[in-house]
Structures are given as structure tokens and as C-alpha cells.
Structure 1
Amino acid sequence: MTNSLPKTQLETDYLIIGAGAVGMAVADVLLTETDANIIIVDKHHKPGGHWNDAYSFVSLHQPSKFYGVSSTELSSGKRDEVGLNKGLHELASGAEVMAYYDQIMKHVFLPSGRVQYHPMCEYHGDGEFSSLISDQSFKVNVRNKVIDGTYFKTSVPSTHTPNFKISSEVDFAPLNDLPQLSCPRDAYVVVGGGKTGIDACLWLLDNQIDPDKISWIMPRDAWWIDRQNTQPSKDFFFDSIGAQVTQLEALGAAESIRDLFERLEKGGVLMRLDKNVTPTMFHGATVSQGEASQLRKIKNVIRHGRVEEIRPGELRFKDKTVSIPRNAIFVDCSARAVPVSESFPVFDGKTICVQTVRSYQPVFSAAFIAHIEANYDDEDTKNDICGIVPLPNHDTDWLMGIAAQMKNQYRWSQEPGLRDWLIENRLDGFTALTVPDETTTPDEMELLGRMKAAVPAAIEGVKRLMPEAMKIRAQAGN
């Protein structure tokens, strides 16, 4: 139906598309570091982006201490005292994340008088958007820039369409539906080896499902990051900074890609499900050692590539058919969380496309990009500072990511004042740990010295290993 009502005319300095984690992080920095006015447009009824659609038992995979917006702490400062994350900094639940963003919007953004928020609206381009549930439409005169906070196109099971055939007789559901189960099944088949697959398996095990009744379809095994190495506090200095030193030293010493991953695993940087299976995937999933031990209880891991069809009593792959109990429930975890591979200049005329400038940290990246926008004028300089760190998919993308990140870190070190911003920004997590002060011990100084000394050899190692990595990546395709 054609909308016959005239468009409401609006004016702003920045128009942000998306009120998810990325859009909120950008808006927060612009609100803090500039006097700009901001309009935020989002399809959901509440801020939080894909968290609106997430399963009820979802939680962060990385500590709450460096998630959210720069100005406001998400974490309570506690560590988990029970469970598989015991001893590590808390991981906010999905409900906590949603409540946090709702509070930021209600008590920080809107009271500023400089932010307009338009939920339940779809952006059409060229400054135009319209309501999803009314006849209202809007045209915005954007004085500065349009900021695209939707680049990551985060996919969750509840809104994802599987790319394989499913018989209507099969009990197939997103993992959102697991808490609604009311009767036992003969088998629980988890489809997908990524972060949601991990969460589904852990939920089933936590709810007393016999590991032998769980089948895990694993198209590609993945390397995991040990969560103990991602703890952003001084108490975990030798874990977090130690892992970074191990990475640099492994790069400097490795003679091949295989040798590199063996060193990373031996040094405790990366983990895998099965030591007899070499992973070919890396998405940056963060897992605790306790979670890894639980997941290894599942022995029926099905490795025949991607499933092509699910029928009553059987799974069909390209070259294999596997029998499954007819009373099985199939849990869809096949959505790739961030299903994008193409990259663009971050700053392009009147548009900012928010992408990762540090590995696995889109929220920090969003805040960083907003800081650069607020404090620099020349577009070429801004793009030079905000080099893209590609989103990982294949195992060799670990090397691609760290190479891009090392390049960025060096570039950032050339900018007066930028290091101070990194140290003070709560989303950064680790830069502050690398700055000695009166509490730094001799052992900590020794580790920081090793880090600095390892950099030249690591740079040479990247150059040495990159041709092999590119060859492997080309053979793997998409």
C-alpha cells in the first residue's frame, strides 16, 4: 500500500542506522566527545540489535568488563563463583545485556536532548526511513554523516533460514525452543559447530541430557580461544599478556602454518575439541577450559561436511547418509553469526561503515571509529588509522587478523594522544595492562620486555608464513 502521508522532515548531524551494540557504541562516543545531534533508527522495538532475537539462555562469550558502551560499565565487577566459568570475570546474560542497553537509551542518550530514537523503523537509504507499524515516514537532512551500524548483519537461529532441505515430518527447531521441551527424546542432534552449537550442547549437558544421546553435526572443527586469556584485569596479567607474548613468539619461531598452530595450542592460546582432528575453521569463539571439558563428553560428532537434507530417521550429506532415531529433535545452530566477508573503506564521503579494526571486537571497533571521526578531519588519515581487520572464517584467518591488527597497533602508536584514549577506554580491555606503574612487579616487567623483544621476529614471521596461508585459503574457498 502506498503511503500518501507527507514525510516528516528531520535534521541532524549524524544519522545512525542500527541501535545494536555497534550503533550504541558509536552514539555513546559521539555524545561524549562532540556536541553533535544524533538520530538512531532501528527495526527492533528496543535497543540491543540481535540480542532482541537471541535465545533465552544466551550470554556473552567474553567478559562483560569490556562490552557495551564506553561511558557506562556493564559488569558488576564480580567473578563467577560456580559453573563452567568459575573464577573468571562474569558473562552478562542476554537479558542483562538488553536491560543495559535499555537503560543507556533511557537514562543517558535521550536525557541528553541530543539523541532522537526511532524504533520499529526501516531505513531505505538517502536519509529516508519509515515506521514498520504505522503510516509515518521520515526524511532526514544529515549535516555530517550517515553511520551504518548494520555491516555485521549478525544472524541468529530464530531469524535464520537453513540452507538445506528439511522434511515436514522432522522435529526441527532453533535452539531458542530448547527451554520449551517437555518430554524426553531418543536423540538430540545439534546442527552446526559454531558458537550457537557450543551453547546448545552445553545447555543440553547442563540439563542432564546423556552425552551419548547428543549428536553434534560438525561441518568443520574450529580453533577456540581460551577465555582465561581474555580477562581484562591485573589479576590475570600473566594469562592475558602472556598469551599475547606467546602469539608473538610463535609467529617468530614457526616454520609453517601447521607449526604455528601447534605452538599456539601448546602455549595455551588456542584449544580444540579433539586433538586427533585438525580444525579448519576459526571464528574467534571464546571457551573456558571447563566448557571444553564438558563438550568433549560428546563422542558422537558427525564430520561429513554440511548437511544437505534431514528426513525422518536419517541425515543426508553429499557423500554419506547417517541414521538417526526417528524421535530425534534437530536443533538449528547453522547460522553463521557474522555472515559477511566483503570489506569497505570505513570513511567514504558522507558515510561511515563500521567494521572491525581489532580482531573479534566489533564493539570496541565501533567506539574507536567514532573517536577517530570526532577528532580527525582528513578522510585519508582516518582510513589509514582505521585499517580493516578481516572477520575470521578459516583457520588461516587467525594469521590474517593478527597481521592486520599488528599493522594497526603500529599505526596507532604514531598518533599523539591515541594511546591515552586506549588506556582510558573501558572497551579496550588490555592496553592499560601493558603500561608499567608503581605496582608493576619485576616478573611483569620481564614479560613486557619479552613482548617488545618479540615484535621484530613476529613481523618477519608474518611475512614468511603469509604465502602459505594465502595458498591454503585459496584452496579452501569460501
Structure 2
Amino acid sequence: MPIQHVETDYLIIGSGAVGMAFADTLLNETNANIIIIDRHHKPGGHWNDAYSFVTLHQPSSFYGVSSRELCNGTVDEVGLNKGLAELATGDQVMAYYDQVMKQTFLPSGRVQYFPMCEYDYDSENADDGVATFKSILSDKEYQVKVNKKIVDGTYFKTSVPSTHTPSFTVADGVQFEPLNNLPNINTLRDGYVVIGGGKTGIDAVLWLLENQIEPDDITWIVSRDGWLLDRKNAQPSREFFNDTMGAQAAQAEAIGEAENMDDLFNRLEQAGVLMRIDPDVKPQMFHGATVSKDELEQLRRVKNIVRKGRVTSLDVDKIAFGNSGEDSIATTANTMHVDCSARAVPVSDIYRVFKGNKIIVQTVRSYQPVFSAAFIAHIEASYDDEKTKNEICGVVPLPNHDTDWLMGIMAQMRNQQRWAKEPEIRDWLINNRLDGFTRLVQPSSEMTPEQGATLMRIKSAMPRAAANMPKLVGETMQIMAARHAKA
């Protein structure tokens, strides 16, 4: 079949959360035409492959696209998120993105959508703006003349258990499933082994506990304990002002007063900025996972936590760790082993966001890829000079190690200082629902004296934090180098 030729202003690779947020801002702030391609059959990216009981782990009110609300603005009245802003389920998120595509994007007449298509990175030619993508199900091939930019919305390469290949071997006869299949289990098991200490592992453990599995019947393999964020500190409403902004103040104060990194994390924990499951185990991981205090209490019910490093093999009678496999724990043929070992965002490389006719969407604010996508699209629509755009869109590295918490805060502070020089950006942040917090701190008749005092804490702490940051970053670099040498 001959190649079909199409033309567009922007070619967006990926109709996941990032690609959709970017396209929405372009659609609303420019007159550009857009082509969106994705290998899934529906918009939503990795949500197509997610487990049935997945929910957002931050409030729905600042997720999705800028122009359309995802949530109803309600507060959960039952469950482990009780008293906090609602968390959309995976099904709700998928339905939302389908509606955005069918009710907003396509009716505009400026968006073309090509699902079940694969982008050919090898075809990309930055000089003449021509790229190719192909249908996964047929022999159709498209050559695209891109008048302005190719937007890569797949940088995060979000990995989920159902599409993840484990890094360890699994012997025949082992009961081994991704957590997607937990709701389908209908036979009694000797027990459950959850492999993975990240947010997916947390979700698996909470699901088991909520479905009458006794804590002693759960073994949780955690290669690295992680610092957790308190969801109460990420509520974008005035009702939680002192929690949200109080955490920001405590964070700045801790950075400004800390003698060293251990002291910093102790202060952050004491102030409720960070939490951990076991108070006797020092975390060495930070992925930005967010839980409620009620969820944390449930997780602490599980006492069989195995900290022997990464799994290397699963056999019907044992689970081995380490290259030699000599370190192991016992298991049985009737034990269900639940794979939660995929790292959600398995990337560490950093690129310039804007480079010629290419935009690589990355985080410009910690833990908020969707906001970042919308923001980058706004900068693309509002500024012409590439150097200026990259200065405004400094990449905030994705966290992995505990020390990455500080590196992310430093990069985010740098961005905030740069954004403060642009009144236009401030106004955009105030009016963009994905931001969540800038409007909250603007002068208002609704602000109480207590809330004003909280903002003053932030203002007075920031100079000390900035002054002490180089010392803490220097120690962080030493810690990272030592770990790299040991590895």
C-alpha cells in the first residue's frame, strides 16, 4: 500500500495523560492543527493497561487536562481516603480521556487522532520536519509533514505490571501474576507474596487487607524502603490551607536549619512532610508516592517484610535473592506471588525540553507530569526564543533515591524563581486548574490571620533555605557518588 501523506502543525506522540494535557493547551491557546498518535486503541496511555482497582494517589481536582474538570469537587466520606478530596478510579480516568477526545478535541476540527499506530523514531528528520508512523493492525503507513514541532509525550515510559517483564526468573509451577489479576483469584492460597515496595506494591497490600486477607498471610518483599508523602498536604482547597502551605513552610524551615542530610530527613519527618512505614528502617528510596495516614496505619499491620534486596529467582519452594541465590526465603506451590516490581517511571536521562523542531515533555514541577505538560505547551504558545523557553522550563529530575528529594526541591525552587520574573506566567498559573495551589496563596478576603502567618513562615524561611542548600547538595553528591561506587 502506498504511503499516505498528511500535514500538521504539531505531531504529538502519545495520547496518555501528558500528550492529552499538552494538546489541550495548544488547542485552547493557539490556532494550530494537531495530529495525535498512540499505540493504544483509546486515549489514556498506561491507564489502558492499569489494574481494575487503581486510583489516582493525588486529588482528582488537578489531574487531566486544563479545560475540563475530572472530579466533582467532592470529599470522600468513607474508606482510607476519608475526609480528603476524591481520587478518581482508573475507569473514571479512561472515560474522562475518551470524552475529552470525542467531545472536545475531534469536534474542534483541528485534531486528528490515529490510535493503534506506532511512531517510527528512525524516520524522524529534524531538518525538514518529516516523520513517519505506521498502523499496528494493517500495512498502512503515514508520512507527516510537521510545520512546527514534534512533541514526544512518551518520555516517562510509564511501566505497569501487566506489560512489565520481571528482571528475575520464574520457574514452572510458580503461582505468579501481576496485581491486575488479584480480583480474579477464586481459590484459597497458602499466602500472598507481594514483590515490590513502590506505590504498586502499596496498592496490592492495601487491596489484600481490604479483602479479608490477614496481615500475617502477606509477605512483602521490599528491596528499598521509601519515603512517602502525606496526601493531606496536597489538598488544593482553602479548608486544608494550613496543612498544604504549612507543609511548604516546614519544608523550607527544615532545609534552612538542617545540619546534614540525616538531620534534614529527621526534621521533615517530625514536621509531617515525609512519612515512612517502619520508623526503625531508614528509607533509601523516594518516588513521590502519596498515601493517607489511614493507609499508612494499614500498611504497618503487615509485619512480614523481607529486606534482602532484589529477587533473582522464584521457585516453587523458595525465593532467591542476590547473584549467588544463596540468600533465600521459603515459599510454597500454593502461594500467590504478586508482581509489583515494575518501576512506574523507569527513566533517568534528562534532555532540553525544546530542541529545534522537537519538544520532549518532562517534569518542570515535582511529581506533576500532567501540569508540566500543560505548562510546557503554554510556554511553546507564548514565547518564541528557544533559549528563553528552556530557561523557563528547567527540568525537575524524576526522583529515585532518597537524596533525589532535595535535588528535586532545588530544581523546582529554581523554576519558581524564574517564573516569578514573568507576570504573564503568574497569571496563567493562577487561572490554570492543573496548578492547584498558586491561586490558593493569592491575597484574598477569605484568608485568615492564621493562614497569613503560614505564608509569612514560608517567606521568612526561604532565604535561609537558599543559603543552606549548597551545603546539603554537596553532601548529597558525596552520598550519591559513594553509592555509585559501591554498586
| Cα distance in 2, alignment partners of residues 221 and 183 from structure 1 | 31
Query: 1:67 — aligned with what?
Result: 63
| Cα distance in 2, alignment partners of residues 149 and 338 from structure 1 | 13
Query: 2:248 — aligned with what?
Result: 244
Instruction: Give 1:464's aligned amino acid.
Output: K
Query: 2:184 — aligned with what?
Result: 180
Instruction: Give 1:191's aligned amino acid.
Output: I
| Cα distance in 1, alignment partners of residues 152 and 470 from structure 2 | 33
Alignment map for 1:81-160 (pairs within 5 Å): 81-125=77-121, 126=124, 127-160=131-164
Query: 2:199 — aligned with what?
Result: 195
Question: 1:54-94 deviations in whole A, cap 9, x for unaligned?
Answer: 00000000000000000000011111000000000000000
Match of 2:343 among 319, 333, 336: 336
| Cα distance in 2, alignment partners of residues 386 and 361 from structure 1 | 13
Match of 1:452 among 455, 459, 466: 459
Instruction: Give 1:10's aligned amino acid.
Output: V
Establish whether residue 394 from structure 1 lines up as the match of residue 401 from structure 2. Answer: yes
- Give TM-score scaled by structure 1 length: 0.98
Tell me the CA shift for residue 326 of structure 1: 3.0
Instruction: Give 1:257's aligned amino acid.
Output: M
Structure 1 gaps, min length 5: none
Query: 2:30 — aligned with what?
Result: 34
Query: 2:443 — aligned with what?
Result: 436
**Contact map agreement 2:10 2:148 (CA 8 A) in 1:** yes
Range moving further from structure 2, 123-132 or 255-264: 123-132
Question: 1:212-265 deviations in whole A, cap 9, x for unaligned?
Answer: 000000000000000000000110000100000000000000001000000000
**Contact map agreement 2:311 2:321 (CA 8 A) in 1:** yes
Question: 1:256-313 deviations in whole A, cap 9, x for unaligned?
Answer: 1000000000000111010000000000000000000000000000000001111112
Establish whether residue 49 from structure 1 lines up as the match of residue 56 from structure 2. Answer: no
| Cα distance in 1, alignment partners of residues 424 and 411 from structure 2 | 22
| Cα distance in 2, alignment partners of residues 326 and 276 from structure 1 | 33
Tell me the CA shift for residue 473 of structure 1: 1.5
Tell me the CA shift for residue 416 of structure 1: 2.4
Instruction: Give 1:458's aligned amino acid.
Output: A
- Give TM-score scaled by structure 2 length: 0.97
Query: 2:127 — aligned with what?
Result: none
Percent identity among equivalent residues?
63
Moved >3 Å (runs of 4+):
none
Instruction: Give 2:143's aligned amino acid.
Output: K
Instruction: Give 1:475's aligned amino acid.
Output: A
Query: 1:367 — aligned with what?
Result: 374
Q: Secondary structure at the match of 2:288?
A: coil
Tell me the CA shift for residue 323 of structure 1: 1.0
Tell me the CA shift for residue 439 of structure 1: 1.1
Q: Secondary structure at the match of 1:92?
A: coil
Query: 2:298 — aligned with what?
Result: 294
Instruction: Give 1:41's aligned amino acid.
Output: I
Query: 1:211 — aligned with what?
Result: 215
Query: 1:421 — aligned with what?
Result: 428
Instruction: Give 2:317's aligned amino acid.
Output: G
Instruction: Give 1:287's aligned amino acid.
Output: V
Query: 1:405 — aligned with what?
Result: 412
Q: Secondary structure at the match of 1:225?
A: strand
**Contact map agreement 2:175 2:333 (CA 8 A) in 1:** no
| Cα distance in 2, alignment partners of residues 369 and 386 from structure 1 | 7
Tell me the CA shift for residue 142 of structure 1: 0.3
Query: 2:471 — aligned with what?
Result: 464
Question: 1:195-217 deviations in whole A, cap 9, x for unaligned?
Answer: 10000000000000010000000
Tell me the CA shift for residue 184 of structure 1: 1.2
Alignment map for 1:231-310 (pairs within 5 Å): 231-310=235-314
Range moving further from structure 2, 130-139 or 44-53: 130-139
Q: Secondary structure at the match of 1:46?
A: coil
Tell me the CA shift for residue 362 of structure 1: 0.3
Aligned length: 474
Q: Secondary structure at the match of 1:215?
A: strand
Establish whether residue 322 from structure 1 lines up as the match of residue 329 from structure 2. Answer: yes
**Contact map agreement 2:173 2:333 (CA 8 A) in 1:** no
Instruction: Give 2:464's aligned amino acid.
Output: A
Question: 1:135-178 deviations in whole A, cap 9, x for unaligned?
Answer: 21100100000000000000000000000111111010100000
| Cα distance in 1, alignment partners of residues 74 and 446 from structure 2 | 22
Establish whether residue 17 from structure 1 lines up as the match of residue 21 from structure 2. Answer: no
Instruction: Give 1:67's aligned amino acid.
Output: Y
Q: Secondary structure at the match of 1:285?
A: strand
| Cα distance in 1, alignment partners of residues 409 and 197 from structure 2 | 23
| Cα distance in 2, alignment partners of residues 254 and 358 from structure 1 | 23
Structure 2 gaps, min length 5: 125-130
Q: Secondary structure at the match of 2:319?
A: strand
Instruction: Give 1:407's aligned amino acid.
Output: R
Q: Secondary structure at the match of 2:285?
A: coil
Query: 1:226 — aligned with what?
Result: 230
Instruction: Give 1:353's aligned amino acid.
Output: I
Tell me the CA shift for residue 6 of structure 1: 1.0
| Cα distance in 2, alignment partners of residues 460 and 323 from structure 1 | 51
Q: CA RMSD in A?
A: 0.8
| Cα distance in 2, alignment partners of residues 252 and 246 from structure 1 | 10
| Cα distance in 1, alignment partners of residues 3 and 59 from structure 2 | 43
Tell me the CA shift for residue 452 of structure 1: 0.8
Instruction: Give 2:48's aligned amino acid.
Output: N
Question: 1:355-405 deviations in whole A, cap 9, x for unaligned?
Answer: 000000000000000000000000000000000000000000000000000
Tell me the CA shift for residue 451 of structure 1: 0.8
Q: Secondary structure at the match of 2:412?
A: helix
Tell me the CA shift for residue 192 of structure 1: 0.3
